[in-house]
Chain A
């Protein structure tokens, strides 16, 4: 790989490549046998995954007693991880749907990748509530309203059930959205494919797509509709996840600020994760001009914005705890900051509120290494945010006699590591087997792609 001049600030998504070159560049990772870097990376992530698989298998065989969950802290790490991963997914939908509706052209280069991350993040997230039931093979059915021999239905009043609907809808719609976007690209792959097996597979997945304008017309409309549906959906998902907490009466959970605060936090951590992965991808696959520095800088600005919003939420929570005059509420917050979990609280606070403020400096915002490190801090901070919310409130609630300190066990950590392994393994496989940049979308916004008398520039 040649040396990259990171100071060069490309403004356009596309550089000056011809349509053909765009095809070649994006499809290249699919056609060649990946190099050593890829195998090292996937070896590493699948080792993590294996650790997680062992953790889960032990937990299923011996039971969830292997985890640190104790009596007041019944939710513990599985829910922390669930909320964390669902949050990661939100950035993907934000980029692919909301920025699409807002006609943000810089999104095109990263939309496909971000959507894929959404799907993988939701898959990873879904594992946690499911294994948390202890016996997932029975629980999975009890979560859905279906006619059964007990003649009993699920509880439609419960935020946990709303969550089932929200997260499964989110997963399905993201998957459909992603797949619809992939159809034309599958057709491109089909027409380029030389091997017979590849050709059959791509033919099946391209659903007979033939780039007909009579199809493009409905296709574009459908894509717009999906974006329109996904936008309120993504906001609803973390809102409903926050209801899991906010609808209860536990001090520290029972607050109305939770829905917007959770959504902001989700976008915050999701953008950090996408930014991290993109930096790796553009380096490994030489896609510097398809994912220009400008894109990363814009993402950093969003991280700065949402990080500040999250900081505001933290302060507001404190203020309301005092202002409400409710003693348990007040105690909970003082306990968070100065109680036995103050180490987690201050980790969260510094990673989420202080460190991202460095993005005010353009120099930091536009240099790869610092921004990469800051984004990692953001993700650590956001994981701790969920930890603080879930654990501190549960471990010390109204009744001092039932307080207990929660400590995760090694199995908890194994599963947490495994979730990262799963996520990154899927991401790596995705970059290897599917076009990680939307070919048709990139072509549509490349220079001279739209008829001149229409001023194609404003087209999306």
Chain B
């Protein structure tokens, strides 16, 4: 249904419009507006408008945000994560000034414009009956217009038209609008809107999924997973034997290690080596940890020979055999250090103390799996 919005008159020159605006204001109309292609100097006075209050918003917003920023920086440096940087105090005010200034300008500018758009231009409900009218097209280019709204308390169609013509308007129009269209009630359940929302939701989920699961694992986004360097276990083309790192020179003694005197002499080891560590709780715990790391893959968690290797390597035999039980600590120590046949030696990776601790742990296992009556007490 069409409804009268206003009567709009067009004028040719800025002088005419100044004169007309003053007359309309004097005649006591309140709901009227002047439309000009550019701001006409002195029009505010003619229309008797109060001066704009935008400046107050800017000051208030700028200062508020500046204080918030200052407080934020204080909070970060003094409460949340205090740390001294470059020997400066925790609250270096001069160093905060540049940021405070920038924040004042940033928020002052952006929010002032937001205030203007939202409070004064009624964004986003800014559809207006004047849009798309011949009147609008004229005032956007080179004409000067004034329009008096039908809602004004003094409004009387014929009188207003006559009045405006008498002011020298070259054209006076009635402007109508469609009430249904001007309805600004939110139409949340509108199918197009709902569909659009679903589309956005789908798109967002998909892109987040792809981003987190695919893109971030592709070079160059993959946190430098692929690098031009030799990592452990890599084959290297550089050396003839294909090993990426060099073996130490024969006789090298690593820091914290002692040279082993009984290589190829298990009997000597069995006779001469004495376990220097008491099998106390701490030592056995260390032995357990090391056993589980180094020995259990082949010999099984409890040393029963139940390897986890599933045939990839000859199974380590049980350590509960009578043979091993009858060995001295020194002999087991020798096997751990030097290996035995296919079993590799561990003297390069496991320290002396740890090897003895493993021995103690093996002894503990042997005793635990074959516990006698008196052990229970």
Contact = CB atoms under 8 A, between A and B. Distances in A.
Contact of B113 (A18, A176, A220): A176
Nearest to B95: A157
B105 A173 contact: yes
Best-surrounded residue of B103, B141, B219 (most CB of chain A within 10 A): B141
B41 to A, nearest CB: 4
Contact of B116 (A18, A135, A218, A444): A218
Contacts of B102: 162, 165-166, 169, 233, 236, 240
Contacts of A200: none
A157 B98 contact: no
A162 B15 contact: no
B93 to A, nearest CB: 11
Contact of B140 (A158, A165, A188, A243): A188
Chain B binding surface SS class: helix
B85 A157 contact: yes
Best-surrounded residue of B13, B47, B99, B128 (most CB of chain A within 10 A): B99
A210 B136 contact: yes
Contacts of B81: 151-153
Contact of B47 (A187, A213, A226, A453): A213
A198 B246 CA distance: 71
Interface residues of B, number: 68
B239 interface: no
Interface string A159-194: 101100110110011001100100010011011100
Nearest to B35: A211
Interface string A4-34: 0000000000000011100100000000000
Contact of B36 (A155, A191, A207, A213): A213
Given A229-B108, A444-B38, A20 B99 contact: no
Contacts of A153: 76, 80-81
A218 B54 contact: yes
A221 B54 contact: yes
A217 B98 contact: no
Interface in B187-235: 219-221
Contacts of A135: 220-221
Nearest to A231: B105
B277 interface: no
Interface string A205-234: 001111111111111111001100110110
B55 A221 contact: yes
A243 B102 CA distance: 14
A459 B41 contact: yes
A240 B142 contact: no
A454 B41 contact: yes
A210 B128 contact: yes
Contacts of B109: 172-173, 176-177, 225-226, 229-230
B121 interface: yes
Interface in A47-76: 60-61, 63
A340 interface: no
A156 B39 contact: no
B44 interface: yes
Contacts of B116: 218-219, 222
B175 to A, nearest CB: 12
Contact of B121 (A172, A203, A208, A459): A208
Given A60-B220, A156-B77, A191-B136, A165 B35 contact: no
Given A61-B219, A61-B220, A177-B109, A444 B141 contact: no
Nearest to B107: A169
A3 interface: no
A215 B120 contact: yes
B41 A451 contact: yes
B297 interface: no
Contacts of B112: 222, 225-226
Contacts of A166: 98, 102
A18 B142 contact: yes
B323 interface: no
A456 interface: yes
A449 B42 CA distance: 12
Interface in A352-367: none
Contacts of A215: 120-121
Contacts of A176: 109-110, 113
B309 interface: no
B130 interface: yes
A207 B105 contact: no
Contact of A236 (B35, B88, B98, B108): B98
Interface in B86-144: 86, 88, 92, 95-96, 98-99, 101-103, 105-106, 108-110, 112-113, 116-117, 120-123, 126-128, 130-131, 136-137, 139-142
Contact of B42 (A172, A221, A229, A454): A454
A408 interface: no
Given A176-B109, A213-B33, A219-B116, 15 more contacts: A151-B81, A156-B95, A173-B109, A191-B140, A192-B141, A211-B37, A212-B33, A213-B43, A215-B121, A216-B36, A229-B58, A441-B38, A450-B41, A451-B42, A456-B41
Instruction: Return the 10 tightest CB-CB contacts between A and B, nearest first.
Output: A208-B126, A19-B142, A221-B52, A444-B38, A213-B34, A162-B98, A191-B140, A165-B102, A459-B41, A169-B106
Interface of A: 18-20, 23, 60-61, 63, 135, 137, 145, 151-153, 155-159, 161-162, 165-166, 168-169, 172-173, 176-177, 180, 184, 187-188, 190-192, 203, 207-222, 225-226, 229-230, 232-233, 236, 240, 243, 440-441, 443-444, 448-454, 456, 459
Interface of B: 13-15, 18, 21, 33-44, 47, 49, 51-52, 54-55, 58, 72-73, 76-77, 80-81, 85-86, 88, 92, 95-96, 98-99, 101-103, 105-106, 108-110, 112-113, 116-117, 120-123, 126-128, 130-131, 136-137, 139-142, 219-221
13 contacts: A63-B220, A176-B113, A188-B37, A192-B140, A208-B121, A211-B37, A215-B121, A218-B52, A221-B52, A232-B101, A240-B102, A449-B14, A452-B15
